[in-house]
Structure 1
Amino acid sequence: MGATALLLSAALAGPAFAAGPATGGHSATRKAIEAAVQAGVPGVTATAKDAHGTWSTTAGVGDTRTGAPRSTADRYRVGSITKTFVSTVLLQLEAEGRLSLDDTVEKWLPGVVHGHGHDGSRITVRRLLNHTSGIYNYTADDDFGRTYFTKDGFFAHRYDTLTPRDLVAIAMKHEPDFKPGASWGYSNTNYVLAGMVIEKVTGHSYATEITHRIIGPLHLTATSVPGTQVTVPHPSSRAYSKLAQTATGPSYDVTKLNPSIASSAGEMISNSADLDRFYSALLRGKLLPPQQLKEMKTTVRADGIPNTRYGLGLMDTELTCGVHVWGHGGGIHGSASGAVATEDGRHALALNFNGDWAGDMDAVIDGEFC
């Protein structure tokens, strides 16, 4: 679900996995993954796909109690990587003529974005997707933070079910961060609303549309939209958090939680091979017509995120060596994930840390692409 919890129509055939120690082009990736574990991440799983095939590796443990290792096939909560799936569905709907990115939120969700200066009639769907709406980020609400991100709050409320309207209502208690289009500000509320727009346009939940339009056609067998299901399907590892603003102190097992608190901003589950396949297919034009892919890749400056510009649910990041990668990151309790690919979709990397307080994911991405 972005920074608060933390501080890829056609199937692509995947070659056989080569798991284990890094050789050749992946040695720097492996070194950065090992450094993340040394820095305190319990365990890491990663899969890269390029012209030479598919390479996967793990480091550290998937269960600190038993010492069981992580698996290259581990499923994990992907957090805000969900946003790219949601944006893809909305862009498909635009290509079908069922909505316009310039439609107002008020047109599709009358009365929902209202109060304390919020006005859905002045905010377009495009501004939701590129985070220029100014709508307050509900996960930044102090009460929400105490309830779901602190130790006492989390263990008392980890199984709560919240509806999308509940989440938007939290945001509406606050003033907007800025006038629509005046700046850029990452807000999970934008993508909760985007999921609600999908449901209003199609008559189906955003989960149903993602399953029908992306998961099924790409054969993403490890990917799911769990709704209120509190467990992560096997194979999977345990997820750990400090449930505090600091990286010190005890770690807690936070594997089980009701992901409705993330909704269409970050509730999905996947694995590294599926994420590689998704982003490769997306960037190679397998999911969107050229015009919609161009719109998705039309970026604005992402204030506060170095060397990064934000498109429509898709981030363009310039690495230390000058290479550009496209993708998204995601964080939710006990899980930090990243999935990126080159612009041609031919080289992709996805990885997950099963702890949310340590490790340098940027270094792993740099290691793979630089």
Structure 2
Amino acid sequence: MSTQGRAGRWARTGRIGAAALTLAAVASGVAQARPAGSPDGGHSRVLDADVRAVRAAGGAVEVLAETRTEKGTARSRTGAGVPWDAQFRTASTSKTFVAVVVLQLAAEGRLSLDDTVERWLPGLVRGHGNDGSRITVRDLLQHTSGLFDYVRDPEVTKAKTGDFEKIRNDATPAGQWVALALRHPPLFVPDHRHPRWAYSNTNYLLAGMIAEKAGGLGWREQVEHRIIAPLGLRHTFVPGTNPFLPGPHAAVTVNTPAGTVDFTEHSVQHTADSGVVSTTGDLNTFFRALLTGRLLPKAQLAEMQRTVVRTDDPEDLAEWPSGGYGLGLRWTPLSCGGGYWHHEGDGLGSYTRTGVTADGRRTVAVSITSAGSMPDLVKLNGAARQLADDALCGRD
């Protein structure tokens, strides 16, 4: 099966999100380390080498990486066209933020992970074999619902690979995307005794809608009030339908069959499955806070870390061959023992890779953009995993 036709992320719609270009990027591919002794980043030769390896695996991609350990912070990048403090659309890494909101609501007794979708959104998930009374909140967060992924619908694919200007300022509400997904039968019916999972963005549209009902605020506001503000994530925000990135950022263009398209400014990814903008520094802070108990009580963090390994997504398995998926959190083993927690994001010209050790003492965040080709995500993820492995195992 083609590694360029994945289902489950925005970038899976004809792979148009696979070809982001930083206009001012240096084409040489030489890694540039943050000067040692600078107030916000040091130097790691291993990180430099791994950044070059990610670029080579992706094919002319530009890479920005940041690690945090007991020794401090190190940064590396492949070209000056990517600002050191670049903001980027995190795509599906947003799901971890939304999962934290839902789990906080569960900790407060406002909802239960065993509540059904029908309980919160009566009558919404019905037809073509879909049944919201058999799908729980936990199923949504863990992708064990079996619901069809709306980004794989032909209408979505056509919109993204056609005249992008028609949808650049998209404001389609989540409910309409859910309705589109429900035109299709489910991939499977949830089996809570022997769960299996298949990645579907539709799950997090529904999770966001349930969070809004249970929390009394929009999912965006809850991410801001419950996560961004308490952690002081000054460069993280949820733009909604505002297409602009106000801080430093790389320009993003994509080569499509219809020509070169500028994806720097758009509102296509404005829903709960993909709507958070952040930086490598803020993502490191977020994932460390999550694993050290600053965001969730022990019981809810333990629920988040209960993983399912059996998958009905062969393309995902090819890209992430080891580990399992929890509640908005993925686990991958480390060569030095144990494993790390993370969530990837593949969007319209923006690739995010993250990682944090179980004790929260080491973190890594990577932003990747490409120069027009369509990266093989199996190779790209392999190189990104090696970067994370070196960073989190302390090779510097």
1:198 pairs with 211, 215, 219, which one? 211
1:52 pairs with 60, 71, 96, which one? 71
Matched, 1:318 2:330: no
Computed over aligned residues only, the root mean square deviation of the Cα atoms, in angstroms, reads 2.1
- Separation in 2 of the partners of 1:157 and 1:2? 14
1:34–1:136 CA distance, 2 compared to 1 (3 A)? same
1:331–1:243 CA distance, 2 compared to 1 (3 A)? farther
- Separation in 1 of the partners of 2:166 and 2:47? 39
Q: Deviation of residue 155 (structure 1)?
A: 3.4
1:222–1:266 CA distance, 2 compared to 1 (3 A)? same
Deviates more, 1:28-37 or 1:159-168: 28-37
| Counterpart residue number, 1:183 | 196
In structure 2, list runs of 5 or more residues that go unmatched: 1-8, 19-37, 312-316
Deviates more, 1:336-345 or 1:355-364: 355-364
- Separation in 2 of the partners of 1:2 and 1:345? 29
| Counterpart residue number, 2:387 | 364
Preserved contact between residue 90 and residue 351 of structure 2 (Cα < 8 Å): yes
Q: Match for 1:361: what amino acid? A: A
Say which SS state the counterpart of residue 159 (structure 2) adopts.
Answer: helix
Say which SS state the counterpart of residue 264 (structure 1) adopts.
Answer: coil
- Separation in 1 of the partners of 2:163 and 2:154? 12
1:281 pairs with 278, 289, 292, which one? 289
In structure 1, list runs of 5 or more residues that go unmatched: 8-14, 62-68
Q: Match for 2:197: what amino acid? A: W
Q: Match for 1:46: what amino acid? A: A
| Counterpart residue number, 2:28 | none
Matched, 1:256 2:255: no
Question: TM-score, normalized by length of structure 2?
Answer: 0.82
Q: Match for 1:241: what amino acid? A: V
1:298–1:3 CA distance, 2 compared to 1 (3 A)? farther
Pairing 1:123-272 to 2, within 5 Å after superposition? 123-148=135-160, 150=161, 152-181=162-191, 183-243=196-256, 252-259=261-268, 261-272=269-280
1:140-197 superposed Cα distances (whole Å, 9 cap, x missing partner): 111211112x1x2323322222100011011011000101135310000000100000
Preserved contact between residue 148 and residue 185 of structure 2 (Cα < 8 Å): yes
Q: Deviation of residue 3 (structure 1)?
A: 5.5
Q: Match for 1:43: what amino acid? A: E
| Counterpart residue number, 1:35 | 53
- Separation in 1 of the partners of 2:149 and 2:189? 14
2:114 pairs with 102, 106, 129, which one? 102
| Counterpart residue number, 2:22 | none
| Counterpart residue number, 1:336 | 351
Preserved contact between residue 199 and residue 206 of structure 1 (Cα < 8 Å): yes
Q: Deviation of residue 302 (structure 1)?
A: 5.4
Deviates more, 1:293-302 or 1:40-49: 40-49
Matched, 1:79 2:91: yes
Preserved contact between residue 74 and residue 234 of structure 1 (Cα < 8 Å): yes
Q: Match for 2:78: what amino acid? A: A
The count of residues paired between Structure 1 and Structure 2 equals 344
1:250–1:33 CA distance, 2 compared to 1 (3 A)? farther
Preserved contact between residue 2 and residue 329 of structure 1 (Cα < 8 Å): no
Matched, 1:291 2:299: yes
| Counterpart residue number, 1:10 | none
1:83-136 superposed Cα distances (whole Å, 9 cap, x missing partner): 001010111111111110000011111111111111111110000000100111
Preserved contact between residue 16 and residue 53 of structure 1 (Cα < 8 Å): no
Q: Match for 1:256: what amino acid? A: E
1:32–1:171 CA distance, 2 compared to 1 (3 A)? same
Identity %: 39
Q: Deviation of residue 265 (structure 1)?
A: 0.3
Question: TM-score, normalized by length of structure 1?
Answer: 0.87
